[in-house]
């Protein structure tokens, strides 16, 4: 697990809400605290879709929605004269990117990885990003965490996101 503090909130928020920078992620949950609080559950509701639509929408084994599908809604909630007093977003890397990301991790350990997570949180102390790995079982091998931390560091640098490691 690695924690980052974002140095330029405005530039980061533009990348998060108005570009495809984070479109390689799925949204598990968004919480936005303003005059009222908003909670978006990123789990797809199967009963909303026809069987044909579900086959297309339910491609991700996790059953989570793509960030790109709810980004505009979150942007509309946040935009305005006053910034939110707090928010949090829980992202999962899309399954199509996991194998490539974890290629150097031993196969027996890689099979334990359920999700590669990125948590984004704004609170009174600032804007923070925290990595995480969800495992299906117990293993003493921490290589998935090390690989994911390094990948996120490179991802942020490549996209010009100015951060400090905590």
pLDDT (0 to 100) of residue 50? 83
The predicted structure's pLDDT at residue 80 = 80
Among the listed residues 97, 135, 93, 142, the one whose alpha carbon sits nearest the alpha carbon of residue 114? 135
Average pLDDT for runs of 10 along the chain of length 166: 95 96 97 96 87 72 89 93 93 94 91 95 96 91 94 96 93
Q: Given this model, what pLDDT does residue 73 score?
A: 96
| Helix runs in 19-165, H state only | 51-57, 67-78, 95-101, 107-110, 143-158
| Enclosing H/E stretch for 86 | strand 86-93
- Distance separating alpha carbons of residues 127 and 140, to the nearest angstrom: 31
Residues of the domain holding 146: 3-165
pTM: 0.91
pLDDT of residue 59: 63
Number of domains in the chain: 1
């Amino acid at each position: 697990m690695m924690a980052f503090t974002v140095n330029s909130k405005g530039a980061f928020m533009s990348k998060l809400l108005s570009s495809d920078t984070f479109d390689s992620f799925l949204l598990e949950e968004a919480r936005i605290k303003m005059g009222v609080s908003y909670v978006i559950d990123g789990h797809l509701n199967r009963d909303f879709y026809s069987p044909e639509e579900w086959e297309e929408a339910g491609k991700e084994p996790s059953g989570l929605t793509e960030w790109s599908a709810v980004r505009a809604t979150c942007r509309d909630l946040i935009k305005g004269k006053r910034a939110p007093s707090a928010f949090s977003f829980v992202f999962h890397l899309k399954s199509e990117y996991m194998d490539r990301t974890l290629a150097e991790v031993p196969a027996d350990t890689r099979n334990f990885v359920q999700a590669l997570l990125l948590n984004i949180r704004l609170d009174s102390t600032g804007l923070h990003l925290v990595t995480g790995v969800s495992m299906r079982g117990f293993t003493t091998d921490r290589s998935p965490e090390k690989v994911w931390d390094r990948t996120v560091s490179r991802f942020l640098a490549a996209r010009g996101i100015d951060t400090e490691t905590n």
